[in-house]
A and B are shown apart, each in its own frame.
Chain A
Amino acid sequence: MAAVQNPPGRTDWAEESEPDLATAIPPPQITKNKDGTETIVTVFINEDGKRVKRTQRIKKTIVKKKENPRVAERKSWPKMGQETGREMGPRPDTTTLGENIIFKPVIGFKSGQQQEKAPEEDKKAEALKKMQIKCRICSGDHFTTKCPFKDTMAPEGEAAQPADMDAVTGGEAAGGLGAGGGGYVPPHLRKGGAATGERMGGGKFERDDLATLRVTNVSEFAEEGDLREMFARFGHVTRVFLAKDRETQKAKGFAFVSYADRSDAQVACERMDGYGFGHLILRVEFAKKST
């Protein structure tokens, strides 16, 4: 009895209305196709008074099912009460489908554990997606610890810090864990530790942040060599970093170019901003210190 209407993938059931406004409505034409489907062409006047031609392709499938004869008889009962005279099938005003509920019995069910867990996890994942990872050193979209400049460049504000810290800790009693009233002082900030706990390569190779350009809108097929070639025209390029996707090895769309001299960087910034590279237009600016 089940006639499956409009099998998925067929969208051509509503066609444009025809220009000629003949008043006569031809009877629906039914043609049988070779593949067992039927094509029904109906012409009717729609709510706006327009003539509409509708082509439906219908595939009929016969599903046989055993049923209790009493149930089958009840199915064909004419409707009554408020439903008198209405057609078969659920009506949207009284019957609606709810949202899908996953119900799976589990041993040791605890309220709030089973069903609440899922949405919470979703939330976490969503929060992660929303959270933008921003490097404190180069403002790239990676963690600070993964930054390629982490050895050469301190996060913003840190350069000024040690001096202040020294001033603070200088007044304190020498060394000692929890010495004085000042609570815990991390070893590298203690007076004795300041000398030994020198940061590896700190300061010496620290990149001159003022001469670093941030290049965005880089084509994903770009290579570091291409960038170096382009930017070397304006002065000595000390370093080119092109952010790449770890898995695909394709460029992520941004890069950093460091110059030995800030004035070169200035020129490069002006010249290269808006330069067409690949199919994209580069955007070049001085690398901002992250806040």
Chain B
Amino acid sequence: MRPILLSGHERALTQVKFSKEGDFIFSVSKDHVVCAWYSANGERFGTYHGHQGALWTVDVNPTTTLLATGGADSTMRLWDVKTGKLLKTWDYLTSIKRVEFSEDGKQLLGVTEKRTGQLSNIYVYDIINDVDAEQTSEPSLHIVVDELPRVTVAGFSYLNKYIITGHEDGSIAQWDAKTGEMLNNVYSHEDGMLVSDLQWSADRTYFITSSKDKTAKLHDTNTLEVLKTYVADTPLNSAAITPDPQQYVILGGGQAAMDVTTTSARQGKFEARFYHKIFEEEVGRVRGHFGPLNYVAVDPTGKCYCSGGEDGYVRVHHFDPPYFDFKYEVERERERGKF
């Protein structure tokens, strides 16, 4: 496969997201600009201007009409995907580390950073899926995370039932998305190792978390039970689950940016790692970035994946036949009807 290199950013990428149909890629970086790309050929569709600080996070709603971003200028913004018009700005006291639309696109959550005496907050807004509508300024739910350490990642479960958060100390928490009550809290990653990413399976009944403890773990949404563990040899920044029928997870990471200059690309382990989702075994790697991979995202239709790196590039990879054909012997046997 020939990767397509998207070089619209001048600084390190922080997050990349696919639209639901996989035709668009949205990327944010520390250079204040949001870029939208066509995934098929790497053509840039446009840019969204307005943020005054580094951007940490981006998400698009299921209909690819609204785009939410959050960054170090302590604002969360809502954009019209088509025209690039800024529709709404929510102001906070600290920067926004994570935004995510719910499965149905009717709710949007934002996570503020714990800093300068401020606690981590989770804000949930009801969103009207209409670019001309006036969006609300009042959160429908506001959770102040005072008992747990800083929230790094968060997301909506299936049917907006729970909000799952990942924390600085490696713990995962489950909250009721209606009342804001904390339901469960588990320490699945090594103590003190930050949870760097949380991504959902297609039906949001399970999710994968990556951590600086060099592992990624598959969790059950209801019980927070660890279903699978994928062990890597480098701190992980991101983990993604490929949609069915392919059974992979893709992990991205690498040494921290500050250590990069002293190591070569190979030693730096700047590769996307493919693990078999069920057998927890590494099956391959994809090289290319000159810095750690800050985010990996998979096309919801399963045809490609992209990674955003510290080197300022987004690399889009359209999978080749071997990716689709690969199966373990037991999988083949099951297909032949032996089991």
Contacts and interface: CB of A to CB of B under 8 A. Distances in A.
Give the top 10 A-B pairs by smallest Cβ distance, nearest first. A81-B47, A81-B46, A105-B283, A80-B46, A95-B42, A98-B3, A105-B326, A90-B43, A80-B84, A104-B322
18 contacts: A74-B82, A77-B82, A80-B82, A82-B47, A89-B41, A90-B43, A91-B43, A93-B7, A98-B2, A98-B315, A101-B3, A101-B287, A101-B288, A103-B323, A104-B322, A104-B323, A107-B281, A111-B233
A97 B284 CA distance: 22
The binding surface of chain A is classed by DSSP as loop
Interface in B248-292: 248, 274, 276, 281-288
A161 interface: no
A68 interface: yes
B204 interface: no
Given A98-B315, A111-B285, A105 B49 contact: no
B303 interface: no
Interface string A259-277: 0000000000000000000
Interface in B1-23: 1-8, 21, 23
Contacts of A83: 44-47
A68 B40 CA distance: 14
A96 interface: yes
A74 B4 contact: no
A101 B1 contact: yes
Contact of A115 (B49, B281, B285): B285
Given A99-B2, A108-B281, 9 more contacts: A94-B6, A96-B7, A98-B288, A101-B1, A103-B284, A104-B323, A104-B326, A105-B283, A105-B326
A279 interface: no
A196 interface: no
Contacts of B203: none
B287 A95 contact: no
A98 B274 CA distance: 20
B23 A94 contact: no
Chain B, interface residues (CB within 8 Å), range: 35 or more
B64 interface: yes
Contacts of B8: 94
Contacts of B2: 97-101
Nearest to A84: B46
Interface in B148-194: none
B38 interface: yes
A95 B5 contact: yes
A80 B21 CA distance: 21
A81 B48 contact: yes
B327 to A, nearest CB: 9
A179 to B, nearest CB: 52
B315 to A, nearest CB: 7
B339 interface: no
A94 B44 contact: yes
Interface string B75-108: 0000000111000000000000000000000000
Task: Give the most central of B37, B47, B48, B287: most A CB within 10 Å.
Answer: B47
B331 to A, nearest CB: 11
A90 B42 contact: yes
B225 interface: no
Residue from A83, A88, A93, A106 with most neighbouring chain B CB atoms (10 Å): A83
Contacts of A89: 41, 43
Contacts of B42: 90, 94-95
Nearest to B45: A79
Nearest to A92: B7
Interface in A75-134: 75, 77, 79-84, 88-91, 93-101, 103-111, 114-115
Nearest to B283: A105
A71 interface: yes
A70 interface: yes
Nearest to B42: A95
A114 B283 CA distance: 10
A108 B275 CA distance: 10
Contacts of A110: 282
Contact of A91 (B44, B233, B285, B315): B44
A108 B279 CA distance: 11
A89 to B, nearest CB: 6
Contact of A80 (B23, B33, B45, B274): B45
B295 interface: no
A115 B288 CA distance: 12
Nearest to A98: B3
Nearest to B233: A111
Nearest to B48: A81
Given A75-B38, A101-B2, A109 B287 contact: no
Contacts of B274: 103, 105
B84 A81 contact: yes
Contacts of A105: 248, 274, 276, 283-284, 322-323, 326
Contacts of A77: 45, 82
B126 to A, nearest CB: 23
A71 B46 contact: no
B293 to A, nearest CB: 14
Contacts of B326: 104-106
